[in-house]
Amino acid sequence: MSAQFSQFPVLGFIHAAYFAVAVVFILGLKAMSSPVTARRGVVWAGYAMIAATVVTFAWPGMQNFGLMVLAIAIGTVVAWVSGKKVAMTDMPQMVAIYNGMGGGAAAAIAALEFARGEVHGPVVTTLAVLGALIGSVAFSGSCVAFAKLQGIMKKAWRLPAQNGVNVLLALGAVALGVMIIGAETPDSTHVIAFFVLALVLGVILTVPIGGADMPVVISLLNAFTGLAVGMEGYVLGNPALIVAGIVVGASGTLLTQLMAKAMNRPISNVIFTPISGAAAGGGEAVEGEQKEVGAMDAAALMRYASKVIIVPGYGMAVAGAQHKVWEMTEMLEEAGVEVVFAIHPVAGRMPGHMNVLLAEAGVPYEKIFDLEEINGDFAQADVALVIGANDVVNPSARTDKSSPIFGMPILNADLAQNVIVVKRGKGTGYSGIENALFYKENTRLLYGSAQQAIGEVIQHVKAMSV
């Protein structure tokens, strides 16, 4: 009895620490809502996670300290080294795989609890099964997303009767989950089959999804991971995991809804009718021809303009041209040109990708505007400079009802007096959708990688400023 009572002060301290950690998590998340305070929010959340981890070591009855410390050390070294080495262009796939690891960890917790036979009661078992299902889907789906973003998987594959296969796999996993819940001691065959179906479901769901939908998918899988972690936190009776999972799940769900709204595509369409190579073939035939412009003429158009709006896309990220773009911006501003940046919510390969790249290059936050803030300014701009962006500036989204992106809010770059598009070649881009902007009378294409093309523009702007 005395030993039992002696645990109360320790548990009280642990729960108080978890409560403080939860508060800091929420404050950190709030800080991340603004680019100005985002770094501070990440630091707060990081320290809170360290505190929660350290406090957990004091949990009564905790064992295997050596293995836990070893696992934390290995994970810390791998994350630190990879985080330092990863290029900003590769950040989306790093986020995808790390997100998958969270879902996989949640699923592994459930698998271990099932193997030990320590999941008791229908409520706890149901949450364990749901967490395992969602975590497994998030893990395998994130692995596919990583492979797509890394270029390992170059095509979007769609099975015959794809949605029917998805439904059958989901029903099979749910049926096995119900059997696990109903059994006094889960049968190992049922548990293994359940996890196999759940992992396959994650793969089959994600494989047909193309680049246009990838930012939404990454956000959705992130929400899945949070939900899985929260459920397994309940199974373990760990308040810190419950709160962290709920916060990640709720914020990820809200972000996914915002991203889907930015594309004017219901989340169900992203999953069941994704924009892939096959789906992107729709739309009316684009008339006209692409007209090329040289670096000197592009430089002259911007050097003697009153206002230039720059629209960055993944092509700028691939070329690592954000520093060159900022150098060019500073030169134009010295010549009296007003230069601002327009960011579409789904530009790049993950939410906020372009904002992070521009911030890394030193672009002030006050020069970066979202779609709603900047769209009314394009008609007054002398030049809209589009660097490696495709779908987010495609006017077919406004006019072509047969286009896969019809109804998607776009940046009105085509309304500028002149449009310069920096593009590597004459292809259709990552999503496979032909862009009507490239054929408009006021549009000229500057071919080449963004790094090389902007570098040449800089040289000509320098010559004009002498």
More reliable by pLDDT, 407 or 2: 407
Which residue pairs from 328-333 have beta carbons closer than 8 angstroms and sit at least 24 positions apart in sequence? 328/302, 328/454, 328/457, 328/458, 328/461, 329/363, 329/367, 331/458, 331/461, 331/462, 331/465, 332/302, 332/303, 332/308, 332/461
At residue 177, the pLDDT reads 93
Residues 33 and 91 in one domain: no
324-348 tens-digit pLDDT: 999 999 999 999 999 999 998 888 7
Q: Which of 272, 301, 328 is the C-terminal boundary of a domain? A: 272
At residue 156, the pLDDT reads 65
Q: 452 burial class (0-12, 13-18, 19+ CB within 10 angstroms)?
A: middle
At residue 119, the pLDDT reads 65
Lowest mean pLDDT among 87-96, 259-268, 297-306, 335-344: 259-268
Give the range with max mean pLDDT: 93-102, 191-200, 201-210, 277-286.
191-200
Residues annotated as catalytic (active site), given as ranges: 391
Lowest mean pLDDT among 340-349, 399-408, 417-426: 399-408
Report DSSP letters for 224-286, one per residue. HHHHHHHHHHHHHT-HHHHHHHHHHHHHHHHHHHHHHHHTT--HHHHHHS---TTGGG-SPPP
Residues 108 and 213 in one domain: yes
* Tokens encoding 221: 């899988």
Residues 57 and 91 in one domain: no
Statement: residue 350 has pLDDT above 60: yes
At residue 356, the pLDDT reads 82
Give the range with max mean pLDDT: 32-46, 52-66, 295-309.
295-309
| Residue 164 confidence class, pLDDT cut points 50, 70, 90 | confident
At residue 182, the pLDDT reads 85
More reliable by pLDDT, 69 or 391: 69
Does residue 80 form part of some domain? Answer: no
Does residue 406 form part of some domain? Answer: yes
Statement: residue 296 has pLDDT above 50: yes
Residues 175 and 41 in one domain: no
At residue 212, the pLDDT reads 64
Residues 117 and 248 in one domain: yes
Lowest mean pLDDT among 73-77, 275-279, 339-343, 373-377: 275-279
More reliable by pLDDT, 95 or 267: 95
Residues 21 and 137 in one domain: no
| Residue 285 confidence class, pLDDT cut points 50, 70, 90 | low
pLDDT (mean) for 52-74: 88
Residues 419 and 362 in one domain: yes
* Tokens encoding 167: 């439904």
Statement: residue 425 has pLDDT above 60: yes
Statement: residue 58 has pLDDT above 60: yes
Q: Which of 272, 298, 319 is the C-terminal boundary of a domain? A: 272
Residues 362 and 409 in one domain: yes
Considering the chain, what is the average pLDDT of its residues? 85
The CATH number covering residue 294 comes to 3.40.50.1220
DSSP label at residue 86? -
| Count of structural domains within the chain | 3
pLDDT (mean) for 404-411: 83
At residue 404, the pLDDT reads 76
Does residue 279 form part of some domain? Answer: no
At residue 2, the pLDDT reads 40
More reliable by pLDDT, 183 or 143: 143
At residue 278, the pLDDT reads 42
More reliable by pLDDT, 436 or 327: 327
199-231 tens-digit pLDDT: 999 999 888 876 667 778 888 899 999 999 999
Contact partners, residue 389, CB within 8 Å, separation at least 6: 311, 312, 313, 314, 315, 344, 347, 411
More reliable by pLDDT, 13 or 138: 138
pTM: 0.78
Statement: residue 178 has pLDDT above 90: yes
Residues 57 and 106 in one domain: no
At residue 286, the pLDDT reads 65
The fraction of the chain above a pLDDT of 90, given in percent, is: 36
Q: Residue 308: enclosing H or E segment and its boundaries?
A: strand 307-312
* Domain hosting residue 113, numbered range: 86-272
Does residue 294 form part of some domain? Answer: yes
Does residue 69 form part of some domain? Answer: no
Q: Which of 76, 198, 62, 85 is nearest to 139 (CA)?
A: 198
At residue 12, the pLDDT reads 82
At residue 1, the pLDDT reads 39
Residues 419 and 307 in one domain: yes
| Residue 266 confidence class, pLDDT cut points 50, 70, 90 | confident
Cα separation, 59 vs 51, whole angstroms:
13
Statement: residue 7 has pLDDT above 60: no
pLDDT (mean) for 170-196: 90
Report DSSP letters for 158-209, one per residue. --TTHHHHHHHHHHHHHHHHHHHHH-SS--HHHHHHHHHHHHHHHHHHHTT-
Cα separation, 310 vs 363, whole angstroms:
12
DSSP label at residue 292? B
pLDDT (mean) for 104-116: 89
Does residue 203 form part of some domain? Answer: yes
Cα separation, 213 vs 271, whole angstroms:
9
pLDDT (mean) for 421-433: 70
Does residue 417 form part of some domain? Answer: yes
Residues 238 and 296 in one domain: no
Residues 213 and 130 in one domain: yes
| Residue 276 confidence class, pLDDT cut points 50, 70, 90 | low
Does residue 277 form part of some domain? Answer: no
| Residue 95 confidence class, pLDDT cut points 50, 70, 90 | confident
* Tokens encoding 34: 């603004």
